[in-house]
Amino acid sequence: MSAPDTVTEWGTPNLGQTVKITAVLHEEDTPFQHIQIVDSLQYGKMLILDGVFQTSEKDEWTYHEMISHVPLMLHPHPERVLIIGGGDGGVAREVCRHDCVTQVDLCDIDGRVIELSKEYFPSIAKVLLDPPAKLHVHVGDGIAFAKSVGDFYDVIIIDCSDPIGPGEGLFTREFYRSAYKALRKDGLIVQQSESPIVQQHLVHDIYCAMKDVFPIVRSYFSHVPIYPACMHSFMLASKVYDPLTAEISRKAPEPMRYYNEKIQKSCFVLPNFYKECLLEGKMSF
Ligand code: SAM
Query: For position 232, what pLDDT does the model report?
Result: 97
Contact yes or no for 260/248 (Cβ under 8 A): no
The torsion angle over the Cα atoms of residues 99, 102, 104 and 105, rounded to 10 degrees, is 180
Contact yes or no for 83/155 (Cβ under 8 A): no
Query: Of the residues 88, 108, 154, 159, which is catalytic?
Result: 159
72 C-alpha vs ligand 1 centroid, how far in Å? Answer: 20
Query: For position 144, what pLDDT does the model report?
Result: 98
Return the bridge partners of 106, or none.
83, 137
Q: How far apart are CA 154 and CA 187, in angstroms?
A: 4
The string of pLDDT tens digits covering residues 209-244 is 999 999 999 999 999 999 999 999 999 999 999 999
114 C-alpha vs ligand 1 centroid, how far in Å? Answer: 10
84 C-alpha vs ligand 1 centroid, how far in Å? Answer: 7
pTM exceeds 0.85 for this model? yes
The string of pLDDT tens digits covering residues 42-100 is 999 999 999 999 999 999 999 999 999 999 999 999 999 999 999 999 999 999 999 99
Identity of the residue numbered 187: G
The string of pLDDT tens digits covering residues 266-279 is 999 999 999 999 99
The residue to mutate among 108, 126, 176, 191, having the most atoms of ligand 1 within 8 angstroms of its beta carbon, is 108
Dump the DSSP string for 97-149: T-TT--EEEEEES-HHHHHHHHHH-TTTSHHHHS--TTEEEEES-HHHHHHT-
Tell me what the mean pLDDT of segment 101-118 comes to. 98
Query: Which has the closest alpha carbon to 139: 30, 28, 60, 26?
Result: 30
Instruction: List the strands of the sheet with 52-56, edge to edge.
Output: 6-12, 15-29, 34-40, 44-49, 52-56
Query: For position 229, what pLDDT does the model report?
Result: 92
The yes-or-no answer on residue 141 being catalytic is: no
Q: Give the residues surrounding ligand 1 with Cβ less than 6 Å away.
A: 32, 54-55, 60, 63, 84-88, 90, 107-110, 113, 141-143, 159-161, 166-167, 169-170
- Please tell me the residue having the least CA distance from ligand 1 atom 20: 167
Pairing mode, strands 103-108 and 80-85:
parallel
124 C-alpha vs ligand 1 centroid, how far in Å? Answer: 14
The string of pLDDT tens digits covering residues 3-40 is 779 999 999 999 999 999 999 999 999 999 999 999 99
Query: For position 58, what pLDDT does the model report?
Result: 98
Identity of the residue numbered 148: S
Residues 6+ apart with CB under 8 A from 8: 16, 17, 18, 19
The string of pLDDT tens digits covering residues 38-53 is 999 999 999 999 999 9
Pairing mode, strands 216-223 and 231-238:
antiparallel
Mean predicted lDDT score pLDDT of the chain? 97
Contact yes or no for 164/223 (Cβ under 8 A): no
Q: Of ligand 1's atoms, which has the minimum distance to the CA of residue 167?
A: 20
Query: Which has the closest alpha carbon to 200: 91, 104, 275?
Result: 275
